[in-house]
Structure 1
Amino acid sequence: MARPKPWEVDAELWTVIEPLLPKVERRTRHPGRKRHPDRLVFQGILFVLHTGIAWEHLPQELGFGSGMTCWRRLAEWTEAGVWPRLHEALLAKLRSANALDFSRAAVDGPHPRVKGGSKTGRSPVDRGRTGSRHHLITDATGIPLAVTLTGGNRNDVTQLIPLLQAVPPVRGKRGRPRRRPNAVLGDRGYDHDKYRRLVWELGVKPLIARRGIEHGSGLGSQRWVVERAFAHLHWFRRLRIRWEIRDDIHEAFLTLGCALICWRRLAAVQRRHS
């Protein structure tokens, strides 16, 4: 049997996505051209995310609709808040399957190449080139909990609190939703006593390497999971280089990428238990 393409959406995933999409009723008078099916358009968006292809080069023979149709639907769904809700729904399923580990979290913030747009800045660690930064927080096993986008001139440490606050309330079990990890791990880029105090105020223990001391703190043996998560995230070609002028569209791709990583982890858990 042929292996499904990564942009193909199976029935199980579609049952999670479809209820989150806004319903658009067709006008009875002057209805105009029939709206292209949401599922095919979503697959077109995934095709761009996976391949990095320009919207205008989207293959028409695959039935996704035009590149402009897919872009407009992406913008429409982004404005409706579909992608954070999809990510949150999949995190809840992972927690229900006992696949989320909030005992600790890990943070990091590498630079993708950028072609322009808002939320950019001259990076002090990339020869002053204009760029953006992806900031990611994962659970103890490397599952993405939240991702943010800033200019390349923003220091990692300034995004530590926004990242912790960006973690959504994760349901999936009885009782109150889980939102904060017990501890957060970071490299020397997060070494600042002011931010350690702010992390403590959120009820989270900061485990951050200090500058000026020898390597060998042992944190690297635990925080490598966030580096692996970034490798998975940047496996999506559209996220390796930021082509989008609009920051909300690039953030939509980022959040969608995190949701797809969660879906793959959930599918792996279900296969082990079947």
Structure 2
Amino acid sequence: MREEVLTDELWARPEPLIPVRPRRFRHPGRRRADDRAALEGILYVVRTGIGWNRLPTALFGASGATCWRRLAEWHEAGVWQQLHERLLAELRAAGLLDLSAMLVDSTHLRALKRGDHTGPSPVDRSKPGSKHHLITDATGVPLAVTLTGGNRNDVTQLIPLIDAVPPIRGVVGKPRRRPRRVYADRGYDHDKYRRLVRARGITPVIARRGVAHGSGLGKVRWPVERTFAWIKGFRRLRVRTERRADVHQAILSLACSIICLRKLILN
């Protein structure tokens, strides 16, 4: 007997977002695998990091190939993005989201099969790699995450990350998507991007290159580094094994949604 991977509480969130496929009567073909079984298989692969073809079909009721196709299909339909936005709204309604400041950072991972959004890594002897770029609220709740090649400079992703934050509902009034301040390390030190951040009504708090360490930003920025540790807790995200960037992005979005749900449950 295996442990429960997909709880009723987790399934209740994406279930209404999943598109309903119309039933074919004239040429029905093989019966479509159950959506819940497919999502349970997806979560098992993402959490354990096993290959899709090694997923035990007899236990989950859906093959690894079916789960992979369903992951990509739902990503294209916007299911994972909608799920993330709904959970962010729930967090804000519960008072568990601090949008007074946002934190940005990135992390590198190897790309074993190359593919889209990969490049020679400057920190891994020019081997193919990718980067996760993350923006969180002041407590480390993931708001948006993007994927680029491993050779992409962090500062070039600062504005796309800020713009990727969705309008967050949950309270009466206009949806919130802009913080008062953005905190970043020396990798984002560039006056041009400071001006672009200020043009959006946000105060950039970015460490300067060439100055002694001890800026004090570490006591503010540590939650984003902790969130990366949570993301790496999903073994499928420690090393990039997906050739297609959209499939890897789907796994990233799903992981962020699970992190948000955990905070809702624990609080």
3-state SS, counterpart of residue 36 of structure 1: coil
Aligned to 1:272: none
Q: Deviations for 1:140-180, whole angstroms, at most 9, x for unmatched residues?
A: 00000000000011110000000000000000011110101
Aligned to 1:141: 139
3-state SS, counterpart of residue 131 of structure 2: strand
Letter in 2 for 1:198: L
1:116-131 pair list within 5 angstroms: 116-131=114-129
Mapped pair 1:30 → 2:27: yes
Letter in 2 for 1:162: P
- Compute the TM-score of the two structures, normalised by the length of structure 1: 0.94
In 2, Cα distance between equivalents of 1:76 and 1:64 = 18
RMSD of aligned Cα (Å):
1.3
3-state SS, counterpart of residue 138 of structure 1: strand
Aligned to 2:258: 260
In 1, Cα distance between equivalents of 2:204 and 2:2 = 43
Q: 1:91 aligns with which of 88, 92, 104?
A: 88
1:224-263 pair list within 5 angstroms: 224-263=222-261
Aligned to 2:210: 212
Give structure 1 stretches of 5+ with no counterpart.
270-274
Contact 1:64-1:70 within 8 A present in 2 as well = no
Q: Deviations for 1:159-207, whole angstroms, at most 9, x for unmatched residues?
A: 0000000000000011110101111100000000000000011111100
Give structure 2 stretches of 5+ with no counterpart.
none
Contact 1:48-1:54 within 8 A present in 2 as well = yes
In 2, Cα distance between equivalents of 1:64 and 1:258 = 25
Report how far residue 48 of structure 1 moved: 0.7
Aligned to 1:113: 110
Aligned to 1:221: 219
In 1, Cα distance between equivalents of 2:245 and 2:61 = 24
Report how far residue 4 of structure 1 moved: 5.1
Contact 1:43-1:64 within 8 A present in 2 as well = no
Letter in 1 for 2:179: P
Letter in 2 for 1:253: I
Aligned to 1:174: 172
Mapped pair 1:52 → 2:76: no
In 1, Cα distance between equivalents of 2:87 and 2:75 = 17
Contact 2:40-2:60 within 8 A present in 1 as well = no
In 2, Cα distance between equivalents of 1:31 and 1:23 = 15
In 2, Cα distance between equivalents of 1:79 and 1:39 = 18
Report how far residue 3 of structure 1 moved: 10
The sequence identity of aligned pairs, in percent, is 62
Runs of 4+ off more than 6 Å: none
In 2, Cα distance between equivalents of 1:12 and 1:255 = 18
Q: How many residues matched?
A: 266
Report how far residue 110 of structure 1 moved: 0.9
In 1, Cα distance between equivalents of 2:211 and 2:119 = 30
Letter in 2 for 1:241: V
In 1, Cα distance between equivalents of 2:48 and 2:152 = 29
Aligned to 1:153: 151
Aligned to 2:184: 186
Report how far residue 64 of structure 1 moved: 3.5
In 1, Cα distance between equivalents of 2:220 and 2:3 = 34
In 2, Cα distance between equivalents of 1:214 and 1:257 = 36
Letter in 2 for 1:38: D
Q: Name the CA shift for 1:203/1:66 in 2 (closer, same or farther; >3 Å).
A: same
